[in-house]
């Protein structure tokens, strides 16, 4: 037997247990996943209906449902509720609910991808500097009062988006060596660049023109959906829907990447190219979400981790379920931010952190170990 035949046989033998391991990892899942997704979507719709009624003054769910039916059926008869209620529901609260769902779903799916890509349950969408770049971009726009606008987005959102993408590109360029970027160098470069950009953001915040601009910067860095509008929904929705679909298309490769790089290569996955594509798509999705909502923490860490612990690590189910649960969680968190202080409003990032940390510890304590 030739040396080439021996090497081919050895590679085949090495790949066989790998394929068995992949099948064993992927097949540890509950049955009826389609039904679970439908139940999740129905629950999300119910939470969204309730969320529209939350705010400085509450509206009964039955009245809100009647408002929607009135719009759908085109009824013109006099309504039994004040006319101003419809303006509040359809022009203020509904776009905010939709934006919250989009942002929560996007951050959760991005967190799922990064946790799988880096094989680290503590990874989140901001791991490689996206939040720091976005924060610096938004701070520059606020501190200097830039007047630029495009597509319904102001200077803060636009510069936050560009800052997030710029930070991601720079991290990847710094970590690339000999034609590839290792996971370790990506993480280290992300930590170092994030610290530098955060320092620049703090410097600009302390040199803001007045206290109002400084508080505006702090509020944006803590995350808020107070400026939600239909224009932002129209900009955000296509990017996040297409981005989520592309990430789901790579779900099988993400499953294989849970093995080491050599085993994934033996199974036919181009590891470096797949990693680059996933980082690009995930960074675009995260940057778009952060651009309209600010830096909202814990969603991209808690939700995918909880979904993985409860329903298993198969990304073909993990990604859509994380999107659904993340959307519901964000709607609930934003509803609490709007309602807890009456007429005042908390930054939604405060609520997600306050809820997320204890929930994360609860899951670690009570759910089965060994998922990763």
Interval 285-317: pLDDT, tens = 988 888 888 889 889 988 998 898 888 888 999
Q: What is the pLDDT of residue 265?
A: 78
Q: What is the pLDDT of residue 58?
A: 76
Residues 106 and 285 sit within 8 Å (Cβ to Cβ):
yes
Residues 134 and 288 sit within 8 Å (Cβ to Cβ):
no
Residues 223 and 297 sit within 8 Å (Cβ to Cβ):
yes
Q: What is the pLDDT of residue 328?
A: 95
Q: What is the pLDDT of residue 246?
A: 93
Domain boundaries, the chain: 40-56+83-366
Sites in the chain below the pLDDT cut of 50: 1-30, 370-372
Q: What is the pLDDT of residue 124?
A: 84
Q: What is the pLDDT of residue 218?
A: 84
Per this entry, what is the length of the chain?
Answer: 372
Entry pTM:
0.83
Provide the 3-class DSSP secondary structure of residue 210: coil
Provide the 3-class DSSP secondary structure of residue 184: helix
Distance, CA of 96 to chain centre: 16
Select from 287, 301, 299, 307 the least CA-distant residue to 352: 299
Architecture of domain 40-56+83-366: Orthogonal Bundle (1.10)
Taking each helix axis from N to C terminus, what angle separates 348-366 and 299-311, rounded to the nearest 10 degrees?
Answer: 30
Q: What is the pLDDT of residue 11?
A: 39
Cα(203)–Cα(145) distance, integer angstroms: 16
Which residues, listed in sequence order, are joined to residue 181 by a DSSP beta bridge? 176
CB atoms within 10 A of CB 294: 27
Residue with the two structure tokens 């790998």: 18
Tokens of 335: 């509803």
Residues 148 and 138 sit within 8 Å (Cβ to Cβ):
no
**Distance set, CA 85 to CA 51, 68, 82, 173, 229 (Å):** 14, 12, 6, 51, 17
Query: Any residues with CB less than 8 A from the CB of 15 and at least 6 apart, and which?
Result: 263, 266, 267
């Amino acid at each position: 037997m030739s040396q080439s035949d021996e090497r081919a046989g050895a590679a085949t033998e090495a790949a066989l247990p790998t394929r068995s391991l992949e099948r064993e990892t992927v097949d540890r899942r509950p049955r009826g996943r389609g039904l679970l997704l439908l139940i999740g979507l129905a629950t999300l719709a119910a939470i969204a209906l309730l969320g529209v009624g939350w705010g400085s003054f509450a509206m009964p769910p039955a009245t809100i449902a009647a408002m929607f039916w009135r719009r759908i059926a085109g009824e013109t008869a006099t309504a039994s509720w004040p006319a101003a209620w419809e303006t509040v529901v359809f022009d203020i609260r509904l776009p905010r609910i939709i934006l919250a769902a989009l942002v929560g779903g996007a951050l959760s799916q991005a967190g799922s991808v990064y946790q799988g890509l880096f094989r680290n349950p503590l990874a989140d969408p901001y791991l490689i500097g996206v939040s720091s770049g976005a924060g610096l971009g938004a701070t520059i726009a606020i501190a200097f009062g830039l007047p630029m606008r495009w597509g319904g987005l102001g200077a803060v959102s636009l510069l936050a988006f560009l800052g997030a993408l710029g930070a991601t590109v720079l991290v990847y360029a710094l970590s690339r060596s000999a034609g590839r970027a290792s996971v370790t160098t990506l993480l280290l470069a992300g930590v170092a660049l994030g610290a530098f950009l955060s320092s620049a953001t703090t410097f600009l915040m302390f040199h803001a023109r007045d206290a109002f601009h400084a508080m505006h910067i702090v509020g944006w860095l803590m995350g808020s959906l107070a400026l939600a509008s239909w224009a932002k929904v129209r900009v955000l929705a296509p990017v996040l829907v297409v981005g989520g679909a592309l990430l789901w298309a790579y779900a099988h490769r993400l499953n294989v990447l849970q093995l080491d790089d050599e085993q994934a290569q033996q199974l036919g996955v181009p590891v470096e190219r797949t990693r680059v594509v996933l980082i690009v798509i995930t960074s675009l999705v995260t940057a778009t979400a952060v651009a309209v909502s600010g830096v909202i923490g814990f969603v991209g860490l808690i939700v995918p981790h909880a979904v993985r612990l409860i329903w298993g690590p198969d990304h073909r189910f993990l990604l859509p379920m994380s999107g659904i649960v993340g959307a519901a969680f964000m709607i609930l968190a934003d509803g609490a931010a709007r309602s807890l202080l009456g007429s005042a409003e908390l930054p939604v990032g405060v609520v997600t952190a306050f809820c997320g940390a204890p929930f994360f510890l609860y899951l670690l304590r009570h759910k089965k170990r060994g998922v990763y």
